[in-house]
Amino acid sequence: MSAELATGLFAGALTITAKTDSQVPIISYVSAYPIALIVMIIISKVLIKLIT
């Protein structure tokens, strides 16, 4: 896991923890963030290949 990914996960989890006592939002965030990040990277690479 890269430092940027770990930092993003940690910061988001801390923000959610400060606002709620439930574990459900934290689990959802930590599950969705890496998937969304990977999808954004793939889409970016495809768009760059299409443009160039």
- Whether the per-residue pLDDT at 43 is higher than 80: the answer is yes
Q: In angstroms, how far is the first alpha carbon of the chain from the final one?
A: 30
What was the pLDDT predicted at 24?
Answer: 73
| Mean pLDDT calculated for residue range 37-50 | 94
Quote the DSSP letter at residue 47. H
- Whether the per-residue pLDDT at 46 is higher than 70: the answer is yes
Total number of domains constituting the chain: 1
**Beta carbons of 10 and 34 less than 8 angstroms apart:** no
**With bands split at pLDDT 50, 70 and 90, how would you rate the model's confidence at 42?**
very high
Give the position of tokens 């959802």.
Answer: 28
In three-state secondary structure terms, 22 is: coil
Domain around 31 = 3-51
In three-state secondary structure terms, 21 is: coil
Enter the tokens of residue 39. 């999808």
Q: Full-prediction pTM beyond 0.95?
A: no
